[in-house]
Amino acid sequence: MLPSGFFKIAVGLCVAALVTIDTAHAADADAVTVPEQSADFTARDFHFSEGTTLPEVRIHYVTIGTPRRDAQGRVDNAVLLMHGTTGTSKEFLTPLMRRELFAPGQPLDAQRYFIVIPDGLGRGGSSKPSDGMGIRFPRYGYNDVIEANHQLLEDGLHITHLRLVLGVSMGGMQTWMWGERYPDMADALMPVVSQPIPIAGRNWLWRQMVVGAIRNDPGWQGGDYTTAPVQWLRVMPIFAVLTVNPTQLQAQAPTREAATHLYDSLVKEGGKNDANDVLYWFESSWDYNPTARLNQIRAKLLAVNFADDLLNATDLGVMQRLIPSVPHGRYVEVPETAGHSFGHQTQTHPEAWKQYLIQLLAEH
């Protein structure tokens, strides 16, 4: 299963060859059976940072593996994975992810680790505007997503310590915030394809295109639509333009006709998402600003970015400037190479970054 949302088709075409390889090895990855469960946790009287309180907030999650307890009865093998802006827990449950991360002998071998993968607040099976409140759903921010995940761990699963927090894209941004907000909870942090600065410049310009397209769609009706608005969908392929490597896009759409078909397919795919949900996805970065508190991160941190990622451009020099503020932090900027050139969507290809995860885990 590929990442959800309007970029599913673009990513799917990008990785078609890898899926074929993946299928050939799927039997090996599934040969060892480990417990896997999907469930919901309800947070009671959940207080949003913008001031609203809801009596119940649902967080859907998946766990893989078995919790192991130390002499004091505390879980000591838990790992938290956090997905990207338009994804859900399914982003980590593709055959490729399973084979490269969770299979026997892989860095997050599910026989050793207890892996927790939530649907972030506002997405998937977790509470979100389209569940019924629509535009009256609280204006959540990244801090609210993190708080909901924290309550899931501590109140729902009784986990007070994490071996690792790993996030990709939005999840990577939330990994920086997690290290600041809960500095003693995790041994290691690995933000992938993210930078510890507020979203601005090109990264906010394209997001503003999405936000503006929704808010100015005549069918949006101030968020109180009964028939799904559709005009905003015409701007959504900008996501593929900015997140998929140009070489990959050219391979997918080598002719004008193929590119037109891809555009139409991306527009159609985007229609599977509720407009208010999407609006909240992109506006929820309003409270992302970890820069000033980087020195409060105590865990070992290894940030991984890629040279062909336009959303977190390496030529901005962000990591060189800010990583010295992280007491136990370092970063890797992976150059564009044949076979690993997927732009921002490298996040969905753990074969491109798992070697750094192995290094990080080996330090503990």
pLDDT at 3 over 80: no
Tokens of 97: 């992810």
- Amino acid code (one letter) for 115: I
pLDDT in tens, 8-63: 333 333 333 233 223 334 444 445 689 999 999 999 999 999 999 999 999 999 99
Instruction: Enumerate the β-bridge partners of residue 166.
Output: 81, 190
Eight-class DSSP state of 336: P
Please state, in angstroms and rounded to a whole number, the distance separating the CA atoms of residues 308 and 313. 7
- Residue bearing tokens 């394809």: 193
Q: Is pLDDT larger for residue 302 or for residue 347?
A: 302
Which residue ranges form the domains of the chain, and what is each CATH number? 8-202+279-362 (3.40.50.1820)
pLDDT value, residue 31? 52
Coil, strand, or helix at residue 65?
A: coil
- The sign of the dihedral angle between the CA atoms of 139, 182, 330, 332 is negative
Average pLDDT, the chain: 89
pLDDT at 345 (0 to 100):
58
One-letter amino acid identity for 240?
A
The pLDDT score that the predictor gives to residue 297 is: 98
Return the minimum-mean-pLDDT range out of 11-15, 80-84, 357-361: 11-15
Residue 349: the pLDDT is 83
Instruction: State the residue for tokens 């559709």.
Output: 230
As a whole number, mean pLDDT of residues 100-126 equals 97
Instruction: Provide the pLDDT confidence category of residue 248 given band limits of 50, 70 and 90.
Output: confident
For a pLDDT cut of 90, what percent of the chain falls above it? 78
Is the pLDDT at 273 greater than 60, yes or no? yes
Q: Please give the Cα distance from 307 to 336 (Å, whole number).
A: 6
For residue 9, what pLDDT is reported? 36
User: Cβ(177)–Cβ(290) under 8 Å?
Assistant: yes
Least confident of 47-56, 154-163, 302-311, 353-362: 302-311
Please tell me the distance from the alpha carbon of residue 250 to that of residue 355, in angstroms, as a whole number.
28
- For residue 80, give every residue at least 6 positions away whose Cβ sits within 8 Å of its Cβ, in sequence order, or none: 116, 117, 118, 149, 153, 162, 164, 165, 166, 178, 186
